[in-house]
Structure 1
Amino acid sequence: MASEYHRGDMDIHEQTSTYHLFVMLAKWGSLALAALLIFLVLAFCTQTSFFGSLAVGVIVAVAGYFVLREHGGEDAH
């Protein structure tokens, strides 16, 4: 049975797609969680108002979007 294996002959398209989906969900999920936690901490644990906390959360989310987005170059998947 081991003689039937030939390195590099297997189609790994589905595994590659699953890996890229996992990385994308982990990346964007982490950003959403970070923005939410910053909003909640500022809203409930400091003297910052609701709208001030919301503004900081939105700023973090927008800045994170620009940092984490894929640029569409040759290296982007």
Structure 2
Amino acid sequence: MADHPHHTSHDAADHDAEAYVRGSMTIEEQRQTWDLFMGLTKWGSLVVASLLLLLTLWFMPNGSLMTGLIGAVVLAVAGFFFLKSPKESH
């Protein structure tokens, strides 16, 4: 029979779990990743909505490119002001 090693992956996991102290880990990288994800989601949604409005107004019956452009620009400008982050005060 083969000898089983004394240290298994479970032992290492148990040691890591015991060594963890709640609230002691820095989460700056996770916060930056989350902020990037939320920014891309927010601004990407505005771009998709503006493009969808442009195409809808352009290709609807009796629609025109100018109507679509005006609607898309108005939505993009309004969305920019609604979605921009407020200035942080120190």
- TM superposition score normalised by structure 2: 0.77
Match of 1:14 in 2: 29
User: SS state of the match for residue 35, structure 1?
Assistant: helix
Q: Deviations over 1:4-61 (max 9, x none)?
A: 0100111111000000000000000000000000000110123221111101100000
- Which has more radius of gyration? 2
CA distance in 2, matches of 1:46, 1:68: 32
Match of 1:72 in 2: 87
CA distance in 2, matches of 1:69, 1:47: 35
Match of 2:44 in 1: 29
* CA shift for structure 1 position 73: 3.2
CA distance in 2, matches of 1:73, 1:13: 18
Greater shift, 48-57 or 25-34, is seen at 48-57
Unaligned 5+ segments in structure 1 are none
Aligned residue identity for 1:52: T
CA distance in 2, matches of 1:67, 1:5: 41
2:57 pairs with one of 42, 50, 54:
42
CA RMSD of aligned residues (A): 1.0
Identical counterparts, % of pairs: 43
Greater shift, 42-51 or 53-62, is seen at 42-51
* Runs of 4+ residues deviating >3 angstroms: none
Match of 2:77 in 1: 62
